[in-house]
């Protein structure tokens, strides 16, 4: 029973990380686009959601209904305006471009919202829990895990069972060959980026419900998403989901051992996987 609680809490924490990682898995694992601004987009959307709630009195799910379409539009504009000009076999141009975007977004958020931390009021949802066998399980983390599982399943089906998914995988494998078969790689990539950032709309609402957010928090979210994708294995959305579970459980157990060891434990597992199995736990060599 002593270790059952951190195991459960780690799985629930992994549900939050999975929502960070899915968009990263799609852009980095499938399209080979290195988006350094990934975490800053989560924070930007979180702050926009908090402002919407304060201005119009929206509840968390009303904020989500407004934020996800906005995130989809933001992703489409990001691809059309910036990434389409730097996407290629060499990942360095996209890394440099999104690094600049990350710095710009952090400074923009500081100008608009200042450096103060803030959170999204959940009407008590964020503090509700149930007790099962001596283990307290928060209602919000359960909802986060359920949404993360549904998003993973939906994205996996989209990539494997739809014409768009086949077109995206073809364009990612060979842009010129895909274009010769009638696929428009730019449109396919724009839609894929819109979906990736749209998923961050869900993550932004849940992140701002479960803790406070500040303009400087983006890099931490980027690291968790990147580690989850690498641990699970690039190119697989279920691998990203599993990597998120491994990261969440490792951190929860680390926190149980010592409150200052949790985050470090996750980083250590990431380094061990990277050193011993660079293709990830569920990736192919």
Q: Is 284 helix (H, G, I), strand (E, B) or coil?
A: coil
Does domain 4-116+134-276 fall under CATH 1.10.3470? My reply is: yes
> What does the pLDDT profile of the chain (285 residues) look like in tens digits?
567 888 888 999 999 999 999 988 888 767 777 889 999 999 999 999 999 999 998 889 999 999 999 999 999 998 888 887 777 666 778 888 889 999 999 999 999 999 889 999 888 887 788 877 777 888 899 999 999 999 999 999 998 888 888 888 887 777 777 777 788 878 888 898 999 999 999 999 999 998 899 999 999 889 999 999 999 887 788 999 999 999 999 999 998 888 888 889 999 999 999 899 888 887 665
Helix axes 4-24, 38-56, angle to 10 degrees: 100
Neighbouring residues of 105: CB distance < 8 A, sequence distance ≥ 6: 37, 40, 41, 43, 44, 218
Vertex 17, ends 110 and 58: CA angle to 5°?
55
Q: How far is Cα 196 from Cα 178, in angstroms, rounded to an integer?
A: 21
Query: Per-domain residue ranges for the chain?
Result: 4-116+134-276
Q: How far is Cα 94 from Cα 105, in angstroms, rounded to an integer?
A: 16
Length of the chain measured in residues: 285
Predicted model pTM: 0.91
CA 130 vs. chain centroid, Å, equals 27
**Selection from 192, 143, 245 nearest residue 25 by Cα:** 192
């Amino acid at each position: 029973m002593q270790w059952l609680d951190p195991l459960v809490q780690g799985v629930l924490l992994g549900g939050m990380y999975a929502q960070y990682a899915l968009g990263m898995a799609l852009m980095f694992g499938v399209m080979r686009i290195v988006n350094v601004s990934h975490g800053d987009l989560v924070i930007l959307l979180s702050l926009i959601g908090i402002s919407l709630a304060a201005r119009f009195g929206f509840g968390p799910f009303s904020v989500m209904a407004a934020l996800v379409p906005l995130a989809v539009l933001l992703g489409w504009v990001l691809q059309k305006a910036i990434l389409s000009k730097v996407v290629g076999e060499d990942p360095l141009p996209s890394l440099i471009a999104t690094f600049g975007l990350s710095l710009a977004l952090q400074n923009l958020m500081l100008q608009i919202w200042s450096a103060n931390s803030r959170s999204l009021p959940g009407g008590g949802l964020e503090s509700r829990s149930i007790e099962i066998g001596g283990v307290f399980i928060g209602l919000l983390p359960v909802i986060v895990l359920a949404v993360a599982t549904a998003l993973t399943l939906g994205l996996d089906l989209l990539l494997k069972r739809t014409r768009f998914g086949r077109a995206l995988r073809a364009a990612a494998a060979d842009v010129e060959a895909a274009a010769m078969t009638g696929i428009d790689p730019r449109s396919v990539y724009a839609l894929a980026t819109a979906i990736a950032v749209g998923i961050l709309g869900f993550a932004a609402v849940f992140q701002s419900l479960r803790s406070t957010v500040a303009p400087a928090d983006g890099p931490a979210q980027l690291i968790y998403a990147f580690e989850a994708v690498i641990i699970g294995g690039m190119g697989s959305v279920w691998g990203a989901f599993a990597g998120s579970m491994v990261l969440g459980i490792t951190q929860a157990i680390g926190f149980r051992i010592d409150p200052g060891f949790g985050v470090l434990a996750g980083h250590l597992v990431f380094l061990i996987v990277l050193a011993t199995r660079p293709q990830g736990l569920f990736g192919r060599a």
